[in-house]
A and B are shown apart, each in its own frame.
Chain A
């Protein structure tokens, strides 16, 4: 008789894990299908499968809607916050797939890999918002980041895309290293990797003066600030956003931000809640800096993607205000604003994608000039998105901003509320510039005339690819074509969502109430 050592695996709650499984299944499937030869499979079935797996994940998340449980030995937790953020991330994912469907990037980087990477990154985001200990947090963080580094560089024939990927990789690695260092210090100070264990140690008192603990908090915050593009750790954002293929930029801007803020909420408003007095003022200062830096940085931009990158930095500052106050109201306001942010940014990015394909001007602000007269279906979503980002009444952005200001005032950070307002004032200058271009300038003459040099001044190498018999799609992707219906659909859908969220916000409020219930330790 030999005694078999039995290792008892953790209990697996398959139903609660099902959204994740759908994503990993989808990632594998798209990767394998991308190997198949027929053009139809690669160009239609692969993106279709990606959408299907995201749709399935979304359906499964809704199926699990009322769950509140710890999974896999309490490494993950499924609760209202995770589920609401999942919905936001999946929606962003579906929109990104639709925008990438007939873009140049998947053609150049191969369809299977492109969509598979996207799904993997989404799975990383889901893991991140479910994470309950620092190990899962870090693994999820890397799972989300590494595919994104590659995705940024998928327009391989464009130097700026490669530059963007490389820059993101380097800066992201610094961020990850800082994060893991900070997490290790937290472990050293509290003796626990679990959020609940950290919370217990932090709540026990006496730890507030521990240098190790405080340094750990600072480094962790820094690491996450890199990902959420919070100033002064935002410098990569404009360059990477500009260089990356626009659908990827849209995806990064929305989904990454949702995931990063999800984990910020979990880590700071749950695990470290008892040392709020230590990190609160610092984070508030970061938020204020971010608001000002982001808005001032956006003022002089002529590239729409850079403009939205800077505006994204500023919006991260607004969102951070909701984390700082660490109240129920703050959590709800943050999640609310994330949902609003999703709608308005996707609408804007979809219009940029459409105009990149239609005008050959890249993402320069001229590409949307005269849109009001020429393409009302694109002009309106862009206008609504800009108005909403600026926080004009009648749009979802207005209510989101009221909510955040209210959370700040209520949480004793009135001055931060004033910063949000001041930031919004500065932001008017550049958002209105876009609207002015859309409605009040004539269409540029170069529009709809094919130019020898493609979007963003591609290197001559691109010219050679047009004759590549294997990939005839490239020929069209280099040139000028009408925006595909799915791109217009994304723009219009999220334009309407932006407006609807401003007029009938109740459904959104119900959604965030669900998320707020998940964090019970707060006022």
Chain B
């Protein structure tokens, strides 16, 4: 399943004419269909397992599986990539074959990282999924400094990944030395044979660095503004919607089960980082005027919430984190799409000061945006509300003070989202603004995404039910360690 998008894109790229586009879109949609089929059949516990030797000499197995921890994010990934593929096909690209090829490889990389059950394989896919974005942003990006921006992004994140690589190898070697067994990178095996506390600490920090950079959270977000400005809009939507979630997922998949003592040891540090991100992201989001960066900084804040949930080291917290990861992805991607549509109506400017006043002329567009804005600020009744509520509940039990400060983050979210909404759709009509209703083709991308938001708002159990058992299980070692 994970290779389907890349294969389809490659197939399309080899065909003449415009079939690259068709191939990529078909591949992404077929993957979406498959993931829905997987979801329907899914019944707790590892499912759809592929487990084979890849590199016998190094104890690396090609071990993929779907389970409760990753299933929601797999669905998110396939939805967003399908939306992006359709969205991209609405506009022309130079050398579109390469574009769709990279897009397909990116989807395969992300799905591989999500399903990998082998530590080395995870690290491999984690790096691999980044490379396509380097090319996508570098070649088809926007802005004069795109190459510099994306290079900064890639160096930041690859440095993190390399630390993670060293940590992964060290984990396997140290476990193999202490058990006397041959090398084995299998996560299940490593979770059963955890390391002594001292080694756990530094290895945890290496992994945490990689994930924090990728998310990005507060002190390590330096690449975010430049990188976000450089990316073409459809690519940015999946980048922000999906890749940051893989990092959050990494905490849940690797750090908590494999390094439970270290997770407990650094719990307060991680919570403080998360808290700082929430506050910093929110403040930046209501001071900047670039619509992209508003969403970018709001992502920093939202991922702060997700991390908060994971490192509350409670079951509710982790559950909420997974739900919130799904929610944020499904909200931020159409958010970027809306920004792109707005920018097209305001003479290409993405500055919210140049927008405004289209709500009466384009009510459908404004309504869709309003739903997204409400979801982002976690209105009661939205699924984000459920997610944030669970996270805060978890933190409340773990660390009272941090939970109280985090509540202000919820309030701040409404400030920046409403500000963005008002400036973009209400007020005076901007000088260059040409109010125009959303086209049917654009609606085809946007409406299903908004429909998913609404569906989850009324039925968040859809995600929670399927993820519960395995998420609880993944969190369990760390919960025990923190008691």
Contacts and interface: CB of A to CB of B under 8 A. Distances in A.
Given A393-B127, A393-B128, A405-B169, A425 B57 contact: no
Contact of B147 (A387, A399, A429, A436): A436
Residue from B125, B154, B159, B169 whose CB has the most chain A CB atoms within 10 Å? B169
Contacts of B172: 406
A414 interface: yes
B124 interface: yes
A418 B154 contact: no
Given A421-B166, A439-B135, A428 B173 contact: no
Interface string A407-434: 0011000100110110011001100110
Contact of B163 (A401, A410, A421, A513): A421
A428 B155 contact: yes
A168 interface: no
Given A387-B131, A394-B124, A417-B166, A506 B154 contact: no
Given A398-B124, A406-B58, A509-B57, A439 B166 contact: no
A432 B151 contact: yes
Residue from A332, A393, A424, A436 whose CB has the most chain B CB atoms within 10 Å? A393
Interface in A367-410: 372-373, 387, 390-394, 398-399, 401-403, 405-406, 409-410
Contacts of B165: 401-402, 405, 421
A432 B154 contact: yes
A505 interface: yes
Contact of B138 (A392, A414, A424, A436): A436
A28 B204 CA distance: 61
A96 B132 CA distance: 32
A282 interface: no
Contact of A373 (B95, B166, B169): B95
Contacts of A398: 124, 127
B25 to A, nearest CB: 23
A460 interface: no
Interface in B28-61: 55-58
A424 B162 contact: yes
Given A406-B183, A421-B166, A439 B131 contact: no
A429 B123 contact: no
Contacts of A429: 155
Contacts of B183: 406
Contact of A372 (B55, B139, B166): B139
Contacts of B135: 439
A440 interface: yes
B452 interface: no
Contact of B57 (A410, A421, A513): A513
A306 to B, nearest CB: 21
Contacts of B173: 406, 409-410
Secondary structure at the A interface, as helix, strand, loop or mixed, is helix
Nearest to B125: A393
Interface in B153-183: 154-155, 158-159, 162-163, 165-166, 169-170, 172-174, 177, 183
Nearest to B124: A393
B55 A506 contact: yes
B120 interface: yes
Interface string A95-136: 000000000000000000000000000000000000000000
Nearest to A332: B57
A432 B134 CA distance: 10
Contacts of B162: 391, 421, 424-425
The number of chain B residues touching the other chain, given as a range, is 35 or more
A425 B158 contact: yes
Given A414-B170, A421-B166, A432 B155 contact: yes
A439 B132 CA distance: 12
B95 A392 contact: no
A440 B139 contact: yes
B131 A409 contact: no
Contacts of A421: 162-163, 165-166
Contacts of B124: 393-394, 398
Contacts of A441: 147
B76 to A, nearest CB: 23
Contact of B58 (A402, A409, A435, A436): A402
A160 B164 CA distance: 43
B379 to A, nearest CB: 41
Contacts of A410: 173, 177
Interface residues of A, number: 38
Given A392-B127, A428-B154, A509-B55, A417 B169 contact: yes
Residue from A372, A387, A440 whose CB has the most chain B CB atoms within 10 Å? A440
A200 B134 CA distance: 55
Given A402-B120, A405-B165, A414-B170, A439 B139 contact: yes
A393 B123 contact: yes
A418 B58 CA distance: 19
Residue from A420, A424, A436 whose CB has the most chain B CB atoms within 10 Å? A436
Given A429-B155, A432-B154, A440-B147, A406 B169 contact: yes
Interface in B115-149: 120, 123-125, 127-128, 131, 134-135, 138-139, 146-147
Nearest to A379: B98
Contacts of B166: 405, 417-418, 420-421
B223 to A, nearest CB: 13
Interface string B366-390: 0000000000000000000000000
Interface in A331-378: 332, 372-373
Contacts of B146: 440
Contacts of B174: 409
Contacts of A394: 124, 128, 131
A440 B154 CA distance: 15
Contacts of A432: 134, 151, 154-155
Interface in A262-293: none
A506 B95 contact: no
A344 to B, nearest CB: 16
A424 B173 CA distance: 20
A469 to B, nearest CB: 46
Nearest to B98: A372
A42 B104 CA distance: 49
A292 to B, nearest CB: 15
A418 B165 CA distance: 10
Nearest to B167: A421
Nearest to B127: A393
A332 B135 CA distance: 34
Contacts of B159: 425, 428
A416 to B, nearest CB: 11
Contacts of B98: 372
Nearest to A398: B124
A400 B128 CA distance: 16
Contacts of B158: 390, 392, 425, 428
B356 to A, nearest CB: 35
Interface of A: 332, 372-373, 387, 390-394, 398-399, 401-403, 405-406, 409-410, 414, 417-418, 420-421, 424-425, 428-429, 432-433, 435-436, 439-441, 505-506, 509, 513
22 contacts: A372-B98, A372-B139, A387-B131, A391-B162, A393-B124, A393-B127, A398-B127, A399-B55, A402-B120, A405-B166, A406-B173, A409-B169, A410-B177, A417-B169, A425-B155, A428-B154, A432-B134, A432-B154, A433-B151, A436-B147, A439-B139, A441-B147
Given A410-B173, A428-B159, A432-B134, 13 more contacts: A392-B127, A393-B124, A410-B177, A414-B170, A417-B170, A425-B158, A425-B159, A428-B158, A432-B155, A436-B138, A439-B135, A441-B147, A509-B55
Interface of B: 55-58, 95, 98, 120, 123-125, 127-128, 131, 134-135, 138-139, 146-147, 151, 154-155, 158-159, 162-163, 165-166, 169-170, 172-174, 177, 183
Chain A to chain B: the 10 pairs with minimum beta-carbon distance, closest first: A393-B124, A440-B138, A421-B166, A409-B173, A393-B127, A509-B57, A393-B128, A425-B159, A421-B162, A440-B147
